[in-house]
């Protein structure tokens, strides 16, 4: 009986299998039947929609994963988590930020060093709530740097950042607590300084002094040149606090109207000379950035000169100042044009006034034609770069 039951069970399974095959054949024959053109177009559109939505979702998912992926080493592809170590006020509107990698990585030193040797570079800070980013320039390490040896070994980075009332990222950075995570991506090379460069004139407005310190560090640390390279910095500020204690290396004997006053409101009318400005500023405690500049001057005597311009004191970078700054380098006509470079950094209006605006084309920010004060000076044999 057991054998008979087994045979019957096997027959039932065979019949079920045949039924399933028959149903599959009927479904296949039905699906293969001719359809109307209208139905075919409808099905095609439906499939195209499904494919498009699927591809879009996959792309978005890949982008989100790439943005959220965190590496222990700073890199230009993904964001790396740093922690805010300190935020030290420089003036009423700006602060010095120190950040340390959340996960220690020996590779960070190599990443930083390669960028320093190349020229001026920046990293992007992410504002996580709005998912937007802003590039800021790291400050080099000098004798005046307050970082400990442990901080340097752990890959700390420092930034001079002004709190812009309309800047979402800068306001976010000034409001977060010390110890909070900050996500960075980079480095991004803003300007590669050619190896032939031996003279730099840096025209800086406000926090544009950070790239100037970078350019000085990159230029002065090069060992391959026989001649000692030089950098002359012209630094314009709205507030005295930003450059308190700084004194100019060149005398400018007449009062002038500050550039920032034309953009941010008129300054108090004062009948004061640049020489007097120097005396007033010298009596105050030096700002952090001035100490950085003085440390560079001490480390590289005769190779770094700085002139300060204050909107509060009606001083302004004139054509005569620029001519005077480039005169020593321009007397030697035997050197190649690549050895002499003018860099301009600061607010957009400042850059536009000095060298003409940068332009956007095909989704990229380009240098744009040379205009402004530097164009009027017709400085031959000097390369110009807007940061």
The lowest-confidence range among 105-114, 129-138, 269-278, 375-384 is: 269-278
Q: Percent of the chain scored above 70 by pLDDT? A: 66
Q: Into which CATH architecture does domain 80-189 fall?
A: Beta Barrel (2.40)
Judged against a pLDDT cut of 60, whether residue 11 lies above it is answered with: no
How high is the pLDDT of residue 91?
Answer: 87
SS (HEC) of 210-239: HHHHHHHHHHHCCCCCCCCCEEEEEEEECC
Tell me which H or E stretch contains 364. strand 364-366
pLDDT (mean) for 213-234: 87
* CB atoms inside a 10 Å sphere around CB 1: 5
pLDDT (mean) for 33-45: 51
How high is the pLDDT of residue 273?
Answer: 42
Reported as half-sphere exposure (CB side, CA atoms, 13 A), residue 230 has a value of: 13
Judged against a pLDDT cut of 90, whether residue 84 lies above it is answered with: yes
DSSP string of 277-307, one letter each residue: HHHHHHTSPPPHHHHHHHHHHHHSTTTEEEE
Are 117 and 218 a contacting pair, CB within 8 Å? yes
How high is the pLDDT of residue 343?
Answer: 97
Reported as half-sphere exposure (CB side, CA atoms, 13 A), residue 7 has a value of: 4
pLDDT (mean) for 108-126: 94
Structure tokens at 4: 């008979």
Tens digit of pLDDT for each residue in 363-373?
888 999 999 99
- What CA–CA distance (Å, rounded) separates 243 from 282? 10
How high is the pLDDT of residue 365?
Answer: 87
The predicted model scores a pTM of 0.72
Q: Which residues pair with 200 in a beta bridge?
A: 231, 341
How high is the pLDDT of residue 380?
Answer: 85
Residue ranges covered by each domain of the chain: 80-189, 193-386
How high is the pLDDT of residue 3?
Answer: 42
Tell me which H or E stretch contains 188. strand 181-192
- What CA–CA distance (Å, rounded) separates 74 from 112? 9
| Best CA proximity match to 118, nearest among 186, 191, 226 | 191
- What CA–CA distance (Å, rounded) separates 296 from 358? 30
Instruction: Give, in degrees to the nearest 5, the angle at Cα 19 between 15 and 24.
Output: 150
Could you please state the CATH topology (level 3) that the domain comprising 193-386 is classified under. Answer: Rossmann fold (3.40.50)
- What CA–CA distance (Å, rounded) separates 316 from 308? 9
pLDDT (mean) for 279-292: 69
How high is the pLDDT of residue 179?
Answer: 96
| Best CA proximity match to 291, nearest among 370, 209, 352 | 209
How high is the pLDDT of residue 46?
Answer: 59
Pair type for strands 132-136 and 119-127:
antiparallel
């Amino acid at each position: 009986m057991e054998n008979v039951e087994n045979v019957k069970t096997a027959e039932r399974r065979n019949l079920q299998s045949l039924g399933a095959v028959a149903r599959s054949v009927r479904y296949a024959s039905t699906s293969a039947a001719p359809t109307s053109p209208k139905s075919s177009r409808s099905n095609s559109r439906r499939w195209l929609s499904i494919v498009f939505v699927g591809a879009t979702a996959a792309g978005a998912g890949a982008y989100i994963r790439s943005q959220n992926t965190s590496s222990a080493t700073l890199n230009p592809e993904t964001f790396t988590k740093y922690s805010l170590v300190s935020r030290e006020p420089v003036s009423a509107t700006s602060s010095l930020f120190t950040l340390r990698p959340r996960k220690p990585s020996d590779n960070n030193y190599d990443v930083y060093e390669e960028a320093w040797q190349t020229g001026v570079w920046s990293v992007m800070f992410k504002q996580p709530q709005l998912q937007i980013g802003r590039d800021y320039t790291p400050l080099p390490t000098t004798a005046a740097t307050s970082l400990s040896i442990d901080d340097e070994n752990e890959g700390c980075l420092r930034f001079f950042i002004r709190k812009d009332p309309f800047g979402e990222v800068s306001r976010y950075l000034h409001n977060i607590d010390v110890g909070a995570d900050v996500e960075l991506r980079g480095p991004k090379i803003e300007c590669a300084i050619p190896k032939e460069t031996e003279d730099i004139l840096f025209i800086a407005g406000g926090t544009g002094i950070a790239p100037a310190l970078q350019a000085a560090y990159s230029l002065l640390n090069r060992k391959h040149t026989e001649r000692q390279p030089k950098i002359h910095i012209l630094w314009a500020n709205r507030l005295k606090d930003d450059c308190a204690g700084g004194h100019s290396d060149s005398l400018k004997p007449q009062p002038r109207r500050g550039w920032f006053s034309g953009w941010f409101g008129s300054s108090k009318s004062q009948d004061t000379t640049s020489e007097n400005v120097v005396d007033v500023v010298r009596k105050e405690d030096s700002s952090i950035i001035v100490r950085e500049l003085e440390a560079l001057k001490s480390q590289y005597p005769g190779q770094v000169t700085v002139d300060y311009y204050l909107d509060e004191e009606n001083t302004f970078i004139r054509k005569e100042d620029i001519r005077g700054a480039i005169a020593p380098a321009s007397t030697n006509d035997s050197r190649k044009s690549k050895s002499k470079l003018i860099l301009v950094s600061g607010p957009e209006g400042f850059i536009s006034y000095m060298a003409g605006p940068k332009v956007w084309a095909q989704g990229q920010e380009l240098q744009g034609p040379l205009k402004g004060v530097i164009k009027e000076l017709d400085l031959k044999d000097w390369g110009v770069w807007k940061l």
